[in-house]
Amino acid sequence: MNYTTQMDAAKKGIVTKQMEIVSRKEQIDVEKLMDLIAKGKVVICANKNHKSLDPEGIGEGLRTKINVNVGISKDCPDIENEIEKVKKSLDLKVESIMDLSSFGKTEEFRKRLIQISPAMIGTVPIYDAIGFYDKELKDITADEFLDVVEKHARDGVDFMTIHAGLTKRTCETFKKNKRLTNIVSRGGSLLFAWMELNNKENPFYEYYDKVLDICEKYDVTISLGDACRPGSINDSTDASQIEELIILGELTKRAWERNVQVIIEGPGHMSLDEIKANVLIQKKLCHGAPFYVLGPIVTDIAPGYDHITSSIGGAIAAANGVDFLCCVTPAEHLRLPTLDDIKEGIIASKIAAHAGDIVKGIKGARNWDYKMSEARRNLDWEEMFKLAIDPEKAKRYREESKPKHEDSCSMCGKMCSMRNMNKILSGKDINILRDDE
């Protein structure tokens, strides 16, 4: 039996090879997985032209996945530098990489990325349009925007951020409800400017059916972008954000009617007490579609440390049902991230995702923690390094300050609680001051 997309196959009762792989990874019955995909609650982003892909599932009942952003820009056009970031991200086993390239040899970078990456690849086509056509924003036509979408799909991109919810109606809501930080989404601000300069409707909304044609043809998942995501905790959960979210819910149903898979993008900056409510609102208004968030960043005062502010929000978001976290690096709001920034952002996001998975009750999540605690009790340093989310750093810290006695660390020495409890419970003496073992 033929099928066009993973959702189409699921509705027809066809188990694809991608479903089989995800089923094994997630330890979930393939029939249950297929049902979730058919209902839009799980997606497998798997473009037919991405031949190196090792597929992952995103959504209800599955592990929280991590995305990392890379890409060349006008100020930093070095492709090889970005490829190194890609390789580091793959070494750290991220499930997704977004190419946010906006200048220069974007096509060359995108094709190399798709060729080498087993992780799913996402893009934001509007970023690429200005450089691709070498035209000012206002002079790009609706057809040209759509042509870039098709080019990315043909190249093998698995999911694309499409800001189709920023309609004329949404823009009027934004204008009537002033924000502290206006529209901070890069794609959203570009579209808002294009609409204002040309006095036209958002082309991705007006010609949404053509976008769906492209996505259905190549099995591209639409990541419905949140142009009105809050850029400060002052602007969160406001009229603009909710207005757009309502439209995204309507667009989700239209995509599902065409068997096109959907992810919903979300905030952004948001105080801790609003996160749970935002997850509930998104899941309700967008009919249970997987939720993808940047952070949320829970305070605006920590430039240089936003990998921490976002991991705090990410853990709470994941615990309350968010399915996909976009990692935020320490360089957020300041500059293009370095290789070290990328690593720090990924590690912080992986910690947040795992913390959320423990709360969600994801199969096997707590077992990792159990094994680490067992290794600590046994003072088995090699096992601790093997289980660590960042073995390299854990081993380096240990080596930088070696204790006199191997069954301790240089902070506690022979006062180590693990060491002394092990000795006492096994009937041995504790020799804290004596030199004998």
Q: Is 177 annotated in some ligand binding site?
A: no
Q: Is 127 annotated in some ligand binding site?
A: yes
From residue 33, alpha-carbon distances to 50, 60, 283, 330 in Å are 22, 9, 18, 36
From residue 265, alpha-carbon distances to 293, 338, 382, 385 in Å are 6, 25, 40, 35
Q: Is 89 annotated in some ligand binding site?
A: no
Q: Is 229 annotated in some ligand binding site?
A: yes
Q: Is 185 annotated in some ligand binding site?
A: yes
Q: Is 76 annotated in some ligand binding site?
A: no
- Class of residue 40 by CB neighbours under 10 A (exposed 0-12, middle 13-18, buried 19+): buried
Q: Is 307 annotated in some ligand binding site?
A: no
Alpha-carbon distance of 252 to 348, in angstroms, equals 30
SS (HEC) of the chain: CCCCCHHHHHHCCCCCHHHHHHHHHHCCCHHHHHHHHHCCCEEECCCCCCCCCCCCEEECCCCCEEEEEECCCCCCCCHHHHHHHHHHHHHCCCCEEEECCCCCCHHHHHHHHHHHCCCEEEECHHHHHHHHHCCCHHHCCHHHHHHHHHHHHHHCCCEEEECCCCCHHHHHHHHHCCCCCCCCCHHHHHHHHHHHHHCCCCHHHHCHHHHHHHHHHHCCEEEECCCCCCCCHHHCCCHHHHHHHHHHHHHHHHHHHCCCCEEEEECCECCHHHHHHHHHHHHHHCCCCCEEEECCECCCCCCCCHHHHHHHHHHHHHHCCCCEEECCCCCCCCCCCCHHHHHHHHHHHHHHHHHHHHHHCCCCHHHHHHHHHHHHHCCCHHHHHHHCCCHHHHHHHHHHCCCCCCCCCCCCHHHCHHHHHHHHHCCCCCCCCCCCC
Q: Is 269 annotated in some ligand binding site?
A: yes
Alpha-carbon distance of 227 to 240, in angstroms, equals 9
Alpha-carbon distance of 16 to 24, in angstroms, equals 13
Q: Is 305 annotated in some ligand binding site?
A: no
Q: Is 63 annotated in some ligand binding site?
A: no
Q: Is 208 annotated in some ligand binding site?
A: no
Q: Is 286 annotated in some ligand binding site?
A: no
Summarize the annotated binding site for [4Fe-4S] cluster as residue ranges: 409, 412, 416
Summarize the annotated binding site for substrate as residue ranges: 69, 98, 127, 163, 185-187, 226-229, 265, 292
Summarize the annotated binding site for Zn(2+) as residue ranges: 269, 333
Summarize the annotated binding site as residue ranges: 69, 98, 127, 163, 185-187, 226-229, 265, 269, 292, 333, 409, 412, 416
